[in-house]
Amino acid sequence: MSGPQAKKLFVKTYGCQMNVYDSERMAEALGAEGYVPTDVIEDADMVLLNTCHIREKASEKLYSDLGRLKPLKAEKPGLKIGVAGCVAQAEGAEILRRMPLVDLVVGPQAYHRLPEMLRLPGQSVDTDFPAEDKFDHLPARKGRRGPTAFLTVQEGCDKFCAFCVVPYTRGAEVSRPAARLLAEARDLVSRGVREITLLGQNVNAWHGESPAGGVWGLGHLVRELAAIPGLDRIRYTTSHPNDMAEDLISAHAEVPQLMPYLHLPVQSGSDRILKAMNRKHTAAHYLDLVARIRAARPDMLLTSDFIVGFPGETDADFEATMALIRAVHYGAAFSFKYSARPGTPAAEKPPVAAEIADSRLQALQALILDQQHAAQAAMVGREVQVLYEKPGRLPGQMVGKSQHLMAVFVQDPTGQVGDLVRARVSASAPNSLAADRIPD
Ligand code: SAH
Ligand code: SF4
Ligand code: F3S
């Protein structure tokens, strides 16, 4: 309980949505040990940094943040400092050597052991990939929740793209059993959740044990989730083009709760670079897949990730990427300059000059931004459904997401967080829409 004696926990999350989910679960595990969350770092009895290793910048952020914690730790020697997530997994004890103020380092598969670690004297490290399932050892989730939630269904990656650390930091692909996921989803819905985003590093590679002992694919899981009364919206991320099964594509045509939005990273449009990246598909294969997905769900909004300046990328390779983007018409995309990561195969290869990579990134981002503006502008005059997530800044205004995950501002003085309403889009801005509520 949160009495005056309660210890306070400050959590900072970097990286992907799975880290957001993990941070929640870690806070709950520590909650069972008497920690209550705080947003004020100076009040904290424990600071937990949940880190990301994906690019050099993300990783270095940990060390600058730890440096800034030195005065606080000097003032408050009892302060516990923990490092979790993918840098913890990749660098382990090295973090303690570089930063003696850190008390514990815990990897993404071992964080259910956090409470035990806290009881150990001195510094401790746990970067095991334990045989037990961490989810079996985490406390049950409690309390009322907001209208949207994440649910990890799959973790890890067996793909080994030549640039990527995830297979090393998250380990091999593991799918959680369907019965557990259905139970967790029902529980979330009973606490007020109306939209669930299924998470996995390769979420569409999920192939979990079915309640009857067989194996389901993600399309089947989506259909079972859609049968839960009160679960109005289902999303999933991140998908790999090679794991987009027919049954999942047809679920987009058949399951109204499955939202018409898909993050489908392609990384490059050049077959030569895709091969060097070990993506195991061509640009034509990706474009064909996009066509099949759009045939199933014509209003599907697609987003992607791109890497520019991968070792060996020529102007022609980059142009092939731009051509692919022009062919697809994305709703948005994340794009990154290639960052060499220690231990990955591509890190051995000579890099593309930084100025060249910078100018490619700029050109690519300008094109994506044009497409994003066009996708937003195309919504004007159309009816959307909005799930209110919070009040807006203006009086009587509510903010939520449309089916296509666009932020929508609605003037609705009687609107409540958690309402799912119909609205007509009146104006578009680069990152949001304005809409008028359509009375029920
Ligand atoms: N599992 C997902 C995404 C994983 S990481 C997938 O397969 O697509 C998220 C994004 O970070 C990747 O899609 C990629 O675009 C980017 N990324 C990963 N490693 C990178 C690196 N070394 N340099 C730059 N960007 C990288
Ligand atoms: Fe990384 Fe590739 Fe696995 Fe995605 S599929 S997590 S980019 S190795
Ligand atoms: Fe980063 Fe790990 Fe997620 S490296 S992107 S936090 S899986």
Q: What are phi and psi of 139, to 5 degrees?
A: -65, 155
Res 162: pLDDT: 98
Given pLDDT bands bounded at 50, 70 and 90, which one contains residue 1?
very low
The closest of 225, 233, 228 to 147, measured between CA atoms, is: 233
Mean pLDDT of 81-100: 95
* Number of the ligand closest to the Cα of 338: 1
Superfamily of domain 134-377: tm_1862 like domain (3.80.30.20)
pLDDT in tens, 197-221: 999 999 999 999 999 999 999 999 9
pLDDT in tens, 418-435: 999 999 999 999 899 999
Q: What are phi and psi of 317, to 5 degrees?
A: -60, -45
Given pLDDT bands bounded at 50, 70 and 90, which one contains residue 131?
confident
Q: How far apart are CA 42 and CA 414, in angstroms?
A: 38
Ligand 3 pocket, residue 18 CB under 6 Å:
yes
Identity at 70, one-letter amino acid code? K
Res 282: pLDDT: 98
- Tokens 């895709």 belong to 274
Which residues form the pocket of ligand 2, taking CB atoms under 6 Å from any ligand atom? 157, 159-161, 164, 166-167, 201-202, 240
CATH number of 383-437: 2.40.50.140
Given pLDDT bands bounded at 50, 70 and 90, which one contains residue 2?
very low
CA angle 273, 279, 282 (to 5 degrees): 65
| Contacts of residue 412, Cβ cutoff 8 Å, sequence gap at least 6 | 388, 396, 397, 398, 421, 437
Atom 6 (ligand 3): residue with closest C-alpha?
Answer: 52
DSSP labels, 204-272:
GG--PBPTTSSB--HHHHHHHHHTSTT--EEEEE---GGG--HHHHHHHHH-TTB-SEEE---B-S-HH
* Number of the ligand closest to the Cα of 306: 1
CB 86 within 8 A of CB 108: yes
Given pLDDT bands bounded at 50, 70 and 90, which one contains residue 321?
very high
Given pLDDT bands bounded at 50, 70 and 90, which one contains residue 142?
confident
Q: Is 412 left (phi over 0), alpha (psi -120 to 50) or beta?
A: beta
pLDDT in tens, 326-376: 999 999 999 999 999 999 999 999 999 999 999 999 999 999 999 999 999
pLDDT in tens, 149-198: 999 999 999 999 999 999 999 999 999 999 999 999 999 999 999 999 99
Task: State which of 165, 278, 310, 336 you would mutate to test the pocket of ligand 1, scoring each by most atoms of that ligand within 8 A of its C-beta.
Answer: 336
- Residue 360 CA to chain centroid, in angstroms? 25
Ligand 1 pocket, residue 14 CB under 6 Å:
no
Q: Say whether domain 7-126 belongs to CATH 3.40.30.10.
A: no
Q: 3-class SS at 26?
A: helix
Given pLDDT bands bounded at 50, 70 and 90, which one contains residue 4?
low
Which sign does the torsion angle of CA 398, 403, 405, 408 carry? negative
Q: How far apart are CA 126 and CA 136, in angstroms?
A: 18
* Number of the ligand closest to the Cα of 337: 1
Given pLDDT bands bounded at 50, 70 and 90, which one contains residue 407?
very high
Kindly tell me if the per-residue pLDDT of 61 is higher than 50. yes
Given pLDDT bands bounded at 50, 70 and 90, which one contains residue 401?
very high
Question: From the alpha carbon of 306, which atom of ligand 1 is closest?
Answer: 15
pLDDT in tens, 246-305: 999 999 999 999 999 999 999 999 999 999 999 999 999 999 999 999 999 999 999 999
Kindly tell me if the per-residue pLDDT of 3 is higher than 80. no
The share of the chain scoring above pLDDT 70, in percent, equals 99
Q: Report CA(58)–ligand 3 centroid distance (Å).
A: 9
The share of the chain scoring above pLDDT 90, in percent, equals 93
Q: How far apart are CA 86 and CA 170, in angstroms?
A: 7
Q: How far is CA 145 from CA 25, 71, 149, 182, in A?
A: 14, 35, 8, 17
Q: Report CA(164)–ligand 1 centroid distance (Å).
A: 6
The domain segmentation of the chain, as residue ranges, is 7-126, 134-377, 383-437
Kindly tell me if the per-residue pLDDT of 125 is higher than 50. yes
- Tokens 């009973």 belong to 190
Kindly tell me if the per-residue pLDDT of 100 is higher than 80. yes
pLDDT in tens, 374-385: 999 999 999 999
Q: What Rg value do the Cα atoms of the chain yield, rounded?
A: 22
